[in-house]
Amino acid sequence: MGRWLDGLYLLCMWIAGLGILAMSLVIPWGVFARYVLGSGSQWPEPIAIMLMTVFTFFGAAVTYRAAGHIAVETLTQAVPPQWRRFLEIVSDLLMLALSGFMAIWGLKLVVETMGQTLSDLPWLPVGVSYLPLPLGSVVTIVFILEKMVYGSQHERPICRFEHEADEIPVTAPEL
């Protein structure tokens, strides 16, 4: 199960990374087309917004599994140690509820807007632009359940990129 979830983690990381890479190429093209070519393209802005949605929701799932999200630990540090586990369980349940809400209502949003099209991209249904919301939320739910059942995975070599160091042989530099 861990190997499958590691694969899902890497897939989400690649999706988020390619999304941000594509967005960082689309935006300069829009600026170049407008100010250098003198004719602004209509597609870069809506595509960039869709790509931002992709890397936001898939990146959030990756960040959750790697425990890389912003955490305010003031409350957990202020309570006695026996209460910390209770607060962690409450936090996981609240994350599960929030992610479930986003998955359910995100899917409803996708279904309801599938018959509409974007004015700048008439070939693309609006619902497709909202797909990262329920998909990323479902992946986050999977990672929340993994944490609840198996514990935090942020120390796994794949989350710390130590698996790459194991694959590269270390040799002493030649003098």
pLDDT at 97 over 90: yes
DSSP assignments along 110-166, one per residue? HHHHTT-B-SS-TTSBHHHHHTHHHHHHHHHHHHHHHHHHH---TTSHHHHTHHHHH
Tokens of 98: 């929030």
CA dist 76 and 20 (Å) reads 34
* Reported confidence tier of residue 125, pLDDT bands at 50, 70, 90: very high
d(CA 165, CA 162): 5
Q: Which band of pLDDT confidence, cut at 50, 70 and 90, is reported for residue 174?
A: low
120 or 18, which is more confident: 18
Of 7, 3, 8, nearest to 141 (Cα)? 8
| pLDDT tens digits, 23-63 | 999 999 888 888 888 887 788 888 999 999 999 999 999 99
Cβ burial of 150 (10 Å; 0-12, 13-18, 19+) is exposed
CA distances from 62 to 122, 125, 172 (A): 32, 27, 34
> How far, CA to CA in Å, does 156 sit from each of 1, 65, 120, 151?
14, 10, 44, 11
103 and 139 Cβ atoms separated by less than 8 Å: no
Residues 6+ apart with CB under 8 A from 5: 65, 142, 143, 146, 153
Whether 175 shows a pLDDT value over 50: the answer reads no
Q: Work out whether the CA dihedral 129, 131, 133, 135 comes out positive or negative.
A: negative
Q: pLDDT tens digits, residue range 144-170?
A: 999 999 888 777 777 766 555 555 454
Phi, psi of 143 (to 5 degrees): -70, -30
Q: What is the pTM of this model?
A: 0.82
Dump pLDDT digits (tens) for 164-173: 555 545 454 4
